């Protein structure tokens, strides 16, 4: 049975190997852990799902609680990933349930996330639909040089 817990400042390295699979442009687990620690000042938090007795997270989520005019108080999931070798063991389900519970505990009315539309994201999209999420809007972006 997976154990989900929030990782406090200084423990980001426990989630870094999982998050690196989603964010390989950060190149190393050490660089990713350092980046997480820097993001914490802006409200970024990390939760991990662990195999019994394991120190490194099998799955991890980076998230933040925010409030704005459009969405009100909400929990936004920046990053959600299960290490490829650990898929199919219930970690994503456990982590998603933890995120929902945390959103409720923080007084959030909605849980949000964005997901890329590449073909390799189709499994993730099925997971989100299975958990009652719906496509609520388009997300537009523009690269600024």
pLDDT at 1: 85
Q: What percent of the chain has pLDDT over 90?
A: 95
For residues 117-142, average pLDDT: 93
Closest CA to 109 of 60, 67, 48: 67
Bridge partners of 79, per DSSP, are 62
**Rounded CA separation 19/59 (Å):** 8
48 Cβ contact list (under 8 Å, min separation 6): 4, 5, 7, 14, 15, 18, 57, 58, 59, 60, 61, 95
Domain assignments of the chain as residue spans, ordered by start: 3-130
How far apart, in whole angstroms, are the C-alpha atoms of residue 2 and residue 95?
9
Whether pLDDT at 142 is above 90: yes
Query: Tell me: the pLDDT tens digits for 18-44?
Result: 999 999 999 999 999 999 999 999 999
- Right CATH for 3-130 from 2.40.50.140, 3.40.190.80, 3.40.630.30, 3.40.50.300: 3.40.630.30
pLDDT tens, residue by residue, 83-111: 999 999 999 999 999 999 999 999 999 99
* pLDDT for res 106: 98
């Amino acid at each position: 049975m997976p154990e989900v817990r929030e990782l406090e400042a200084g423990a980001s390295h426990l989630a870094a190997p999982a998050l690196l699979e989603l964010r390989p442009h950060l190149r190393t687990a050490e660089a990713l852990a350092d980046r997480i620690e820097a993001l914490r000042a802006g409200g970024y938090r990390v939760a991990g799902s662990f195999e019994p007795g394991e120190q490194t997270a099998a799955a991890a989520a980076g998230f933040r609680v925010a409030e704005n005019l459009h969405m009100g108080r909400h929990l936004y999931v920046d990053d959600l990933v299960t290490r490829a070798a650990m898929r199919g063991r219930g970690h994503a389900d456990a982590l998603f349930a933890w995120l929902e519970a945390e959103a409720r505990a923080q007084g959030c009315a909605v849980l949000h996330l964005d997901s890329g539309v590449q073909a390799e994201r189709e499994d993730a999209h099925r997971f989100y639909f299975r958990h009652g999420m719906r496509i609520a809007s388009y997300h537009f972006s523009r690269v600024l040089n």
